[in-house]
Structure 1
């Protein structure tokens, strides 16, 4: 985790908590010539534009005080969306029973991308129910092999 992301997490976490929100993720990335600081917030029933605006205002004030970024950047505060990333164990626990997309660092049974229903989560293991041709199979994925994971929109 970059130093900027660490500092922003320290500043944004209490703001989100105070407003009854969850700090889901923080990205600090360069796209073209511009830098972007993206802060993703959420709550059980979803967040609205006013909540995003309020977090943006309060966080912007704190960032101006601490000044952890020495150059110009764009601050964006938003919901993680329907395909919310799963990063923390708590995220996976809440996703049990839902459709997920998981990418692994190395192949498992010859595959690195898995999509299906997360039917169980233990701190060291995910169990997905995936469709293979016309039948459903259970795939066990060791947690340490997960490179990326997110909720998946079902069609």
Structure 2
């Protein structure tokens, strides 16, 4: 288990109790390390600066008690952004219809990288397979094989994000990102 995995296990329950979902934990740097916590709201509305501050205070308190990082580090809390990383199986279902880049741990059909439109998830017990339509056809990728995935910034994604923001403001109807 990596240090990021241990930190995620420590902070995830508190974030969920506060109404947030943990998107990613990354520890980066050598001389001055940065612990990046990326979170979003469980209700799928836009995360605010105040939300990030609340998360920062809660995470700081947990890390002060648990002390999983022995070196000095800076804590950075952020939203996933519009071209967000896709780290949870539900992300691939939530963003079906949008373009994504997916990189695998191992070769599949002679390739490690895929770019195309997400078409959802499949498989038993809620799905463990990510479906993507590429320019060379459809692929079903085991979720466990995905090393890295993120949405591609497109006009459709920007428009969906605007509609979601308007919906959370109560000014228009749309699909929440």
Normalised by the size of structure 1, how large is the TM-score?
0.81
Contact 1:102/1:150 (<8 A) preserved: yes
Q: Quick check: 2:10–2:62 contact (8 Å CA) kept in 1?
A: yes
Say which structure is richer in strand. Answer: 1
CA gap 1:65/1:127 in 2 versus in 1, 3 angstroms: closer
Partner residue of 2:140? 140
Counterpart-to-counterpart distance in 1, 2:90 and 2:52:
22
Q: Which residues in structure 2 correspond to 1:75-154 (within 5 Å)?
A: 75-122=75-122, 123-131=127-135, 137-154=137-154
| Deviation, structure 1 residue 145 | 3.4
- Correspondence for 1:20: 19
- Distance verdict in 2 for CA 1:62–1:147, change over 3 Å: closer
**Residue in 2 aligned with 1:52?**
52
Q: Is the 8 A contact 1:15 1:55 kept in 2?
A: no
Secondary structure in 2 matching 1:81? coil
Any gaps of 5 or more consecutive residues in structure 1?
Answer: none
- Could you list the per-position Cα deviations for residues 12-37 of structure 1 after superposition, in whole angstroms to 9, with x for gaps in the alignment? 223312321111111122x2411111
* Cα displacement string for residues 49-68 of structure 1 (whole angstroms, at most 9, x for unaligned residues): 11101111122122222222
Q: Using the TM superposition, give the Cα deviation of residue 76 of structure 1 relative to its aligned residue in structure 2, in angstroms.
A: 0.7
Residue of 22, 30, 33 corresponding to 2:31: 33
Residues 141, 9 of structure 1: alpha-carbon distance in 2 compared, 3 angstrom cutoff: closer
Aligned CA distance change for structure 1 residues 61 and 106 (closer, same or farther; 3 Å): closer
Shift of 1:109: 4.1
Runs of 5+ consecutive residues of structure 2 not aligned to the other structure? 156-177
Taking structure 2 as the reference length, what is the TM-score of the superposition? 0.72
User: Across the two proteins, how many residue pairs are aligned to each other?
Assistant: 149
CA distance in 1, matches of 2:106, 2:69: 35
Q: Secondary structure at the match of 2:76?
A: strand
